[in-house]
């Protein structure tokens, strides 16, 4: 099997024969062909088969009403006491903070269970109690911003969707609770499938891969197929390589360096790197709240690789950075 990674560009000097990536703001005229059996090779797009070209060039359908022809900011609203960066910071002001974030972002991602390394599982009842009332309150307050419910559990997803959420964001890619696939399919909602090796309790103990890039790609391809088999159309599936979930710093950097490979899955790509530990290690920022500059740098770099959804803590700063980058890209 060969894996096709577009060598993505945003340069205004676009050569004849270049093609648009996923109906978006980037283009490419060459690809890197990867394989488990041979060394990488760079080829012109003319060397691709129609089957290889199609998922790279097909425009992505809107997600929760958001068009995918520009990078979109997904703001994190953690309703947890123990999230690594902002655990407990929204208690008592969930609605106010949610409305403020909604004014700065294209989508809200609301979660009631921490998935930081070492985090313990939260009961369905407690997680539902944390997220569903806040989603309902946002909708009752007139918030029209799309909302994603960040959960691994079918019943929490069901409650979140019933309360007014538009999308399910499952860090386990439907492996923790397989019933979440049917809940999502029945609701006609989109779902984000993320790669993770192991559970939050153990995922950073000793993560290993044969080839982290290709292993993550193959896993996501399998989960996309599983979602389709459950009745979720590919146009309603988003993929996330899961930076920091069962991965060392070297694994994270390998994935970020060839991030554009995941466009070959034919789905919008979501990236969540905001304030993660490796940013602090490389950027010399011990406290998570001090990692905004590094987080912003990676968000802009990812958008330059055609990533459509950026899950961030610092929505206002990220949007500003994307506006500046987009002005250079002709957006």
* Residues tagged active-site: 276, 311
Give Cα 68 distance to the centre of its chain: 13
**Degrees, nearest 5: CA angle 224-116-287:** 130
Residue 75 near residue 326 (C-beta atoms within 8 A) = no
DSSP SS3 for 237: strand
Q: Smallest Cα–Cα separation from 14: which of 32, 31, 4, 28?
A: 28
How many other CB atoms are there within 10 angstroms of residue 92's CB atom? 8
How many other CB atoms are there within 10 angstroms of residue 88's CB atom? 12
Token pair, residue 256, equals 């970020």
What φ, ψ does residue 276 adopt, rounded to 5°? -75, 160
Q: Is 330 left (phi over 0), alpha (psi -120 to 50) or beta?
A: left
Name residues whose C-beta falls within 8 Å of residue 324's C-beta, 6 or more positions apart in sequence: none
Token pair, residue 139, equals 């909708």
Residue 294 near residue 278 (C-beta atoms within 8 A) = no
Name residues whose C-beta falls within 8 Å of residue 40's C-beta, 6 or more positions apart in sequence: 32, 33, 34
């Amino acid at each position: 099997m060969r894996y096709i990674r577009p060598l993505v560009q945003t340069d205004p000097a676009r050569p004849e024969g270049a093609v648009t990536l996923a109906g978006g703001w980037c283009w490419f005229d060459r690809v890197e062909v990867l394989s488990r059996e041979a060394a990488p090779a760079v080829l012109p797009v003319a060397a691709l088969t129609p089957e290889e070209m199609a998922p790279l060039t097909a425009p992505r359908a809107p997600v929760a009403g958001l068009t995918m022809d520009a990078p979109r900011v997904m703001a994190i609203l953690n309703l947890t006491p123990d999230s690594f960066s902002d655990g407990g910071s929204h208690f008592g002001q969930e609605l106010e903070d949610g409305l403020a974030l909604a004014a700065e972002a294209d989508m809200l991602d609301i979660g009631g269970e921490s998935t930081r390394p070492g985090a313990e599982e939260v009961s369905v009842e407690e997680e539902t109690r944390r997220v569903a009332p806040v989603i309902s309150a946002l909708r009752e307050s007139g918030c029209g911003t799309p909302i994603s419910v960040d959960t691994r559990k079918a019943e929490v997803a069901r409650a979140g969707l019933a309360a007014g959420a538009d999308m399910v964001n499952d860090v386990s890619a439907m492996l923790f609770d397989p019933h979440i696939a049917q809940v999502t399919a029945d609701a006609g909602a989109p779902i984000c499938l993320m790669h993770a090796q192991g559970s939050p309790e153990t995922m950073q103990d000793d993560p290993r891969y044969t080839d982290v890039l290709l292993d993550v790609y193959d896993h996501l391809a399998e989960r996309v197929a599983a979602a389709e088999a459950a009745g979720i159309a590919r146009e309603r599936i988003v993929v996330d390589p899961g930076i920091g979930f069962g991965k060392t710093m070297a694994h994270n950097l390998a994935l970020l360096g060839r991030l554009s490979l995941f466009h070959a899955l034919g789905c919008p790509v979501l990236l969540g790197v905001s304030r993660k530990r490796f940013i602090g290690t490389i950027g010399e920022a011990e406290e998570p709240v001090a990692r905004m500059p590094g987080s912003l740098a990676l968000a802009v770099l990812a958008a330059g690789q055609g990533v459509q959804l950026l899950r961030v803590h610092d929505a206002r700063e990220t949007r500003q950075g994307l506006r500046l980058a987009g002005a250079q890209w002709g957006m």
